[in-house]
Amino acid sequence: MNALNIVILAAGKGTRMYSDKPKVLHTLAGKPLVQHVLDCAVSLNPQQICTVYGHGGEAVPQALQQYSADFVMQEPQLGTGHAVQQAMPYLQDESRTLVLYGDVPLIQHSTLHQMQKAGEGLVLLTVNLDNPAGYGRIVRNDQGDVMRIVEQKDATEEELLIKEVNTGIMLVPTAKLRTWLGNLSNDNAQGEYYLTDIVAMAVAQGEPVHSVQPAQTWEVEGINNKVQLANLERIYQKEVASRLLTQGVSLIDPARIDVRGELVCGRDVEIDIGCVFEGKVSLGDRVKVGAYSIIKDSSIAQDTQIAPYSHFEDSEVGADCRIGPYARLRPGSKLHEHAHVGNFVEIKNSEIGQGSKANHLSYIGDSTVGSRVNIGAGTITCNYDGANKFRTIIEDDAFIGSDTQLVAPVTVGKGATIGAGSTITKNTPPGELTLSRSKQLSIAGWQRPVKGKK
Ligand code: UD1
Ligand code: MG
């Protein structure tokens, strides 16, 4: 089979998005539309990818620097044929060129693979729609062979009744594409150079024309406005949810989960409603995620239970931990197994050792906490002096009384106890009780002040 070149058309203005951002950079499942297309393109292992972007859209190549693709600006935009023409200098004659749309984000690898297998010549991706309005129609002869594509605005009454439409996605022998594009004219209702006119040219030259249909219609749905974007987002999330269910993950309500990235789950995982997973997230066997939790770029090991409204970012949680409700693990949090982090506890850039507990109302930042440590309610690590950050070290088996401030840099020794309400500014010796608060005293016969007479 010939090598593959891919052209992604992404120059459209996106007027109906009413946005200053180029249309293809609007996100679906947290990822720019065109990036969905590029990822799918890359999965086909092509020799060349060329993205055609529009004027004022320098943001497009900038946002896509991580791809080894070429970018070419189309200005002015004179139609889909003109757009593909801009990419021709980047394409190889001995290849086949696949044309994709940057605003048709959910096209699947399997469908494009079907097109590659359909045969030599021109391969069109078509779909039958109950309401074909707006699309180019596939005109076939009595034998059912494709003859040409006619755009809605150029179609006769009779042609408008055709329900098979052009999705825009097509596979074309590159050398022929080059010749055909050179012969396009813009003598049509829209005064544009239509890519679709190459179909009649292929037929005239006796070139075979095949058609393939996508497995699901949503694969070829394009985005022109925020309504379509929101609808396609729901379709995408529904697909992800049913994939998770099929893999054995329990979702209390598959309509109320959002995955914006890659979620990998072990066996017997349970996810309650309203959870959002972003970036790369992994949940080990038997992990339970409580309602309305948000987990980004984190791994949660087996048997850990997360109570509702907990937030995680760039964190690593060991096995059999208890987290939340209302816990917040900020970047660089690492919890070892059996750790407990309770309500209104914020952890950042800190390690919490095996079996250690911070169950209520605490801030633990830039800290290393050993094993079996108990951190009392309201404990704060004072890690920041307004200019620099410092570390707090709490060694194994320490007990920190409630409402303690640990002013970093400071070390609490192994097995040390800190009395409640202390402000600790110096290292505390292992195994001993340290407290810094003043002693409680009662004054006998003390009277409350009374209002003076005027
Ligand atoms: C096109 C097809 C039509 C098909 C429909 C599917 C042509 C002439 N018509 O029509 O048969 O049914 O798509 O949605 O090809 N673009 C550029 N530069 C341009 C013009 C368009 O990059 O100068 C890009 C757009 O950003 C978009 C795609 O090409 O991603 C399609 O353009 P659009 O204007 O939506 O084409 P339609 O008229 O809808
Ligand atoms: Mg369109």
pLDDT one-digit tens code per residue, 190-212? 999 999 999 999 999 999 999 99
Domains defined for the chain, CATH in brackets: 4-220 (3.90.550.10), 226-434 (2.160.10.10)
What counts of helices (H) and strands (E) characterise the chain? Answer: 8, 37
Asked if the model's pLDDT at residue 71 lies above 80, the reply is yes
Q: What are the distances in angstroms from CA 146 to CA 14, 152, 164? A: 31, 17, 11
Task: Report CA(3)–ligand 1 centroid distance (Å).
Answer: 25
Residue 350 near ligand 1, beta carbon < 6 Å: no
* Predicted confidence band of residue 12 (pLDDT cuts 50, 70, 90): confident
pLDDT, position 338: 98
pLDDT, position 22: 94
pLDDT, position 1: 62
pLDDT, position 13: 82
Task: Report CA(103)–ligand 2 centroid distance (Å).
Answer: 9
Confirm if 419 and 435 have CB atoms less than 8 A apart.
Answer: yes
Asked if the model's pLDDT at residue 9 lies above 70, the reply is yes
**Angstrom distance (rounded) from CA 81 to CA 181:** 7
pLDDT, position 57: 78
In whole angstroms, what separates CA 76 from the centre of its chain?
Answer: 32
Phi and psi torsions of 171, nearest 5°: -120, 125
**Angstrom distance (rounded) from CA 65 to CA 60:** 9
Confirm if 322 and 335 have CB atoms less than 8 A apart.
Answer: no
Q: What is the mean pLDDT of residues 375-403?
A: 97
Residue 149 near ligand 1, beta carbon < 6 Å: yes
Task: Report CA(197)–ligand 1 centroid distance (Å).
Answer: 13
Q: Token match 């200053």: residue?
A: 20
User: Whole-angstrom distance between the N-terminal and C-terminal Cα of the chain?
Assistant: 105
Measured from the Cα of 14, ligand 1's closest atom is 26
pLDDT, position 429: 98
Non-local (6+) Cβ contacts of 50 within 8 A are 5, 6, 7, 8, 69, 70, 71, 72, 87, 90, 91
Q: What is the mean pLDDT of residues 80-104?
A: 98
Residue whose CA lies nearest to ligand 1 atom number 25: 12
Non-local (6+) Cβ contacts of 275 within 8 A are 257, 258, 289, 291, 292, 293, 294, 295
**Angstrom distance (rounded) from CA 448 to CA 435:** 30
Q: Give the tokens for residue 227.
A: 């309504």
The closest ligand to the CA of 103 turns out to be 1
Q: Which bin fits 212, alpha (ψ -120 to 50), beta or left (φ > 0)?
A: beta
Counting residues of the chain whose pLDDT is more than 90, the rounded percentage is 97
Asked if the model's pLDDT at residue 55 lies above 80, the reply is no
Q: Which of 54, 101, 81 is nearest to 187 (CA)?
A: 81
**Chain segment 133-181, per-residue pLDDT in tens:** 999 999 999 999 999 999 999 999 999 999 999 999 999 999 999 999 9
Confirm if 126 and 111 have CB atoms less than 8 A apart.
Answer: no
Identity of the amino acid at 155: A
Counting residues of the chain whose pLDDT is more than 70, the rounded percentage is 100
Asked if the model's pLDDT at residue 2 lies above 90, the reply is no
Q: What is the mean pLDDT of residues 417-426?
A: 97
Residue bearing the bigger pLDDT, 57 or 345: 345
Q: Give the tokens for residue 343.
A: 């309500």
Which of 25, 80, 185 best tests ligand 1's pocket when mutated (most atoms within 8 Å of CB)? 80
Task: Report CA(395)–ligand 1 centroid distance (Å).
Answer: 64
* pTM (2 d.p.): 0.94
pLDDT, position 438: 87
Phi and psi torsions of 231, nearest 5°: -65, -45
* Predicted confidence band of residue 420 (pLDDT cuts 50, 70, 90): very high
Q: Give the tokens for residue 174.
A: 């590159």
* Whether 311 is catalytic: no
- Whole-number mean pLDDT of the chain? 97
| 3-state class (DSSP) for residue 33 | helix
**Chain segment 291-342, per-residue pLDDT in tens:** 999 999 999 999 999 999 999 999 999 999 999 999 999 999 999 999 999 9
Phi and psi torsions of 220, nearest 5°: -110, 15
**Chain segment 99-113, per-residue pLDDT in tens:** 999 999 999 999 999
